Amino acid sequence: MHADQQDELIPLKVLIAGGFGVGKTTLVRSLSEIPPLLTEQAMTAASIGVDEAGAVPDKQTTTVAMDFGRLTVDDSLILYLFGTPGQSRFWFMWDELARGSVGAVVLVDLRRIDDCFPAIDYFENRRLPFVVGVNRFPGADDYDEETVRDALALPADCPLVWMDARDPRSSQDALVALVEHALARSTMVRAS
């Protein structure tokens, strides 16, 4: 890459958010072109009664600060991916991670939708663009878009995508939806 091309590079910071064990680290891993920086630690007995791990009994590790990955879209656009921690005791990190971000992909496991409301509320309250990614856990395809939108009380303009965080193409589609949504919102704000 030439020095003049570096000046034209647009870096965008994107958050990957959602509840505990919903697939945030998996999404960062599936997309990152570099070995992702993961702050996962082994789950210990100390988390019993603190973290609600019952819904994901096979989970052995948890993100304690953030996950970080990078995805070069083309010669002019690079995405920096920041996965947020899912447990409420680490939510203090979200303000730092959100600073300067273009928006977020909020992952949802429809078997436990209550876990996504803090993330949705966080981005709505800060007026940060976000898309909801329904991660294809068992039973996810049993619901149609209208039912999911209603259950999550999503605004009509909030994109909703079905995805599989393990699949790079599916995860990339969620990022494209976010960037398009953020660009549309910024265009509307400038026009008003």
When the candidates are 3.40.50.1980, 3.40.50.300, 3.40.1580.10, 3.20.20.70, the CATH number that belongs to 10-37+64-191 is 3.40.50.300
Please give the helix or strand (H or E) that residue 144 lies within, else none: none
What is the pLDDT averaged over residues 58-79? Answer: 77
In terms of Cα–Cα distance, which of 139, 131, 151, 87 is closest to 111? 139
Residue 178: pLDDT above 90? Answer: yes
53 or 139, greater pLDDT: 139
Could you tell me what percent of the chain has a pLDDT over 70? 77
| Contact by Cβ (8 Å): 66, 98 | no
Rounded distance, CA 139 to CA 152, Å? 16
Residues contacting 17, CB < 8 A, separation 6+: 24, 83, 84, 94, 104, 105, 106, 107, 119, 122, 123, 130
Greatest extent of the chain over all pairs of C-alpha atoms, in Å:
54
Q: What residue spans of 45-167 are helical by DSSP H?
A: 93-98, 117-125, 145-152
Give the neighbor-by-neighbor strand order of the sheet with 10-18: 37-42, 61-72, 77-83, 10-18, 101-108, 130-135, 160-163
| Contact by Cβ (8 Å): 69, 36 | yes
What is the pLDDT averaged over residues 125-149? Answer: 93
Write down the residue that tokens 């603190």 correspond to. 50
86 or 32, greater pLDDT: 32
pLDDT at residue number 151:
95
pLDDT tens digits, one per residue of 8-65: 888 999 999 998 889 999 999 999 999 888 766 565 554 545 455 555 556 555 555 5
Phi-psi group of 103: left, alpha or beta (phi > 0 → left; psi -120 to 50 → alpha; rest → beta): left
Q: In whole numbers, what is the pLDDT of the chain averaged over residues?
A: 84
Tell me how crowded residue 99 is: count the other CB atoms within 10 A of its CB.
8
What is the pLDDT averaged over residues 80-109? Answer: 86
Output the pTM of the full model. 0.82
The lowest-confidence range among 36-40, 44-48, 118-122, 185-189 is 44-48
Pairing state between β 77-83 and 61-72: antiparallel
| DSSP SS3 for 17 | strand
Residues contacting 15, CB < 8 A, separation 6+: 82, 83, 84, 97, 98, 101, 103, 104, 105
